[in-house]
Structure 1
Amino acid sequence: MARHRGLSPEDKALWSRVAKTATPMHPARKDLPPEVPHPRIKTPPAARITLPAALLRPEAVKAPPGKRFSLDLATSPREALAEAPLRMDHKKHQQMKRGKLSPEARIDLHGMTLNVAQPALISFLLRAHSDGCRLALVITGKGRAGGPDAPLPVRPGALRYNVPQWLHMAPLNAIVLQVTAAHQRHGGDGAYYVYLRR
């Protein structure tokens, strides 16, 4: 289908005749000054992405036959939380990571949308903190992939990626001391331990 590039001379003539017959809505208002073009802002060139050597091998980049290729360069929540500074007792943190501490409160956010899950998480953790709980388990699930028929490449697990961000924002950042990915017995990559302040 060819794109329409502006009005033809006949269309312009017709439009000018119609415009002359129109009555202004605000006759007292003066004509607006002509629009001043905005200066172009130079954007910096895109940052160069360095891939691990394992991904640079041709066999690692090719998609299997009959399947779409997708590559997610964002760090997983587990990796991001592992790099976060330790703000609690080292011994307790090791026990928590190994699943030796049992959570005193838990919330399951499976099936909730982001708009429903965030207020539910905030009220749950504020209530758990006021009840004196130290360790809470937040279950997000691992998420489902968009599938081959999805219109856009969608990262699976919207809750799994957003919950750690919510825990580091107000009002929860005032009561959350440490966030760690849960041990396999408590949900693994689909759950988080949230250690609360006293």
Structure 2
Amino acid sequence: MKKQSGGGKGRGSADDSDLDHEIWRHTAATIEPLKRAKARFHPASDALKAGGKAVGASRPKVSTEPERPPAKPRSAHAHPEISRPKPSPAKAPDLALFDRNSVRKLRGGRTEIEARVDLHGMRQDEAHVALRSFLFSCQRRGLRFVLVITGKGKTNGKAPSEEGYGERERGVLKRNVPRWLDEPELRAIVVSFTVAAIQHGGEGAMYVHLRSKNRV
């Protein structure tokens, strides 16, 4: 039996190659292409492409000025308020002369004496307090003409005794009452004063004219 020539061997290789091509065509015809996934979009990508910076991202500004220390709270004594000068108290007016027409009416009984105080037998300190209290009270009540009785201050020429003490004290009051009426506090409410008529005590008493309480 003769051996197969080399030509048979070459034919077998060609058949295998044709078979491989046939299988590839069949496989390629049945393969479906894969769907491409949509490209993801990121705003930073375009920004980086355009200028190298992300959209909305900005570098913090660096201030070249030196930082100032925080302001210190103002002290209450740093800028003291300018104190306004206190208004000086109004100066009490000087005593005036007693109105002559008013004197005539008082002496003739046509003007009523609205109140009276008798300082008989009082010591100087007691009389001073009593006079001030009486006049301020009358002025608050709106009275205008009052009578202050001091006593004439005459002595009987006898040696000083307990009985004659009151006469000598009244003589001191007769001199001191006008001085007390000239004090600033009393001048603020007293217009004037004068010696009373005989029927009201004469030289041992005096009329006092008080200011209206609305004018003090």
Cα distance per residue 1:111-142 (max 9 Å; x no partner): 00111100110011000000000001001111
Match of 1:129 among 139, 159, 176: 139
Structure 1 vs Structure 2 CA RMSD: 2.6
- Change beyond 3 A, Cα 1:95–1:195: same
In structure 1, the residue matched to 2:202 is 188
Alignment of 1:1-198 (within 5 A): 86=97, 88=99, 90-145=100-155, 147=157, 149=159, 157-198=171-212
- CA distances 1:70-110 after superposition (whole Å, capped 9, x unpaired): xxxxxxxxxxxxxx85264x422332355542210100000
Q: RCO (CA 8 Å, sep 6+): is it higher in 1 or 2?
A: 1
User: C-alpha displacement at 1:161, in angstroms?
Assistant: 1.0
Alignment length, in residue pairs? 112
Please, what TM-score do these two structures have when normalized by structure 1?
0.50
Structure 2 unaligned spans of 5+: 1-94, 161-167
Q: How big is the shift at 1:177? A: 0.5
CA displacement, residues 133-157 of structure 1 (integer Å, 9 cap, x when unaligned): 000100111124273545xxx7971
In our comparison, the structure showing a higher alpha carbon Rg is 2
Distance 1:92 1:149, change over 3 A: closer
- CA contact 1:167–1:176 (8 Å) conserved in 2: yes
- Percent identity between the two aligned chains: 43
Matches of 1:156 and 1:97, distance apart in 2:
23
